[in-house]
Structure 1
Amino acid sequence: MNKTDRLLAIVLELQSKGTLRAEDLADTFETSRRTIYRDIQALSEAGVPVVGSTGIGYSLMEGYFLPPLSFTIEEAVSLLIGTDFVVQKFDSSYGAKAQTAQSKIETILPERILDEVHRIRKTTKVVDPNLAKVSYKEKEYLAILRQVILTLTKVQFQYSKIRADTESHRHQVRKVAPYGLILINGSWVLIAFCELRQEIRHFRLSRMSDLIVTTETFLLPAEFNLQNYKTVDDRNIHVRMLAKQGIANRIKESNNFYLEEMAVKDEQLELTFRVRQIEDILSWVLSWGSDIVVIEPESLRIRVREEIELMSKSY
């Protein structure tokens, strides 16, 4: 990073994070504290109101903000592609804001850069063919849940879950304290404390119905941090299959969430999966026909045979 870029980056760091010590800035930009001292001096001489406090660090004078920044072609393309993603995957409120932001970005771009951005965007598109499209209901629920997370308000809903033994849908009323939202493999998931289970649980928005905002509020646990939160991995069933080598690329492209490992063994592909229940992988196995054979567990082999027999009766 050259000096000019570093000076701008220092101002952005101070503007976004408040007070920072010289050693913090030195670590961030991988340089010496002496260099940071010279950079702060250069910024002060250029009219940037940097305030230094001994033993505390540097900060920007209250009320100071950078004027509108210019974007490079690559930066502008990145931002506009990002707005396309928000329109596709977020609720209508954020989708509308993303389109507004897109218009603002395009408005401030110089004509030469804007023309180049449009040319590049014609060759780039955000498409996710392997993942289901976010439905209107999910986007509606997403907008509601975003608000109740901010206001620390509990919600209640019907939740549909497939029973492992019968594949029938079981509906339960859940009242939860919503902690956050995560987009996992194209599906929105609510992270919340469930009053029924008395623990943090995950709820797919696609399986919710009859969402109600209650009048009850809650306190977010001080130790909970969504950015550091890691979901519990309860995929305890190991599945092993053999497949024809010729479909290796197609298997990779299928982007199966449960696939752990793929290796060549005796001129065949050995596939290893970890699932919560055999129904998680059943439809995927059947979709490959005779190109894939389940080796273990026996319970999955039995379910595949049963499904094939039922299918044969339909024909």
Structure 2
Amino acid sequence: MMMGVFRYLVVVCVLLVSGAPPRAAAAESILVIESYHAEFPWDAGYKEALQATLGKKYQLEFFQMDTKRLPKAQHAAMADKAWRRFQALRPALVVLGDDAALKLLAQRLGTTTVPVVYLGINNNPRKYFDASVIKNITGVLERPALKRNIVFVSGILPKAKRALVLFDTDVTSQVVLRETFDGKHRQSINGVSVELKLVDRWEQWQTEVLNAKKNYDVIFIGLYQAVHDASGKSVNTSDEAVRWTSDKAPVPVFCFWDFSVGADKAIGGLVLYGKEQGRAAADLALRILSGTAPETIYPVTADRGRFLFSRKQLQRFHITLPAEIAAEANYTD
């Protein structure tokens, strides 16, 4: 009897000294590598959805690459840090948020057996990895309804024949130019002459907005989180760019993402939600964690957009929505 107790105590002491086996904890972890930062509402939206679905069973760990605010020269170093975090954690699954994370980490993660689910990908994923070689990665595509938005606005503002589309110069914006606008900065959409401008400096962004009425009837604001001032500092820690644009714009301002809509922001439009990307990615993750091989899951496209508006901004520009759209739309105020 005493010998049995002694052996039990020896085993317990060994486990305590060794810190307990780390593999058990790691098997219950999911690493979420964000291209951007926690304060970005897009990230907050998809993380909330991931936590709601996966957090019941798994410990979610987050790593922020902060590529919207950091200079491009530092992005590779942030990817290296994310890789080291992955190696230390040894998670059961990795979630990659947005194009920068997939672009910078797909090749390395593809050499492992750990399954990977991406979300928020605007580019063709094959631009980042060869799916015929790398079998452990699948995910959720993001397809902003840019052209559909312009068509919709031309319907409610029939006199609007000239449109300015403003984006920053980050990875996603470059993909939008190449994939959605076919690499063309100017084109006609539903009778509207559209000019797409990618702007990296806050001073230039301000000039474009203040002078908009000379050349345009409406502004569509895209991504602005990577816009910096002359000193290289990000101007968007609290959505300063969209609020300033809404306040100063001499023409109506519409947008493509939910985080840009508000009483002191853009009017709205047919927008994408970060939460929808998170929900779709979480569903794929659960399928994989239940035994489905990632290579058998074809990439999915999440919600293609829903109408979201600010009543205050609609009233400001005397815009009346068609009854069928007003009935199905959501409102921020």
TM bucket (normalised to shorter chain) is: under 0.3
More strand by share: 1
Bigger Rg, structure 1 or 2: 1
Q: Provide the TM-score with structure 2 as the length reference.
A: 0.26
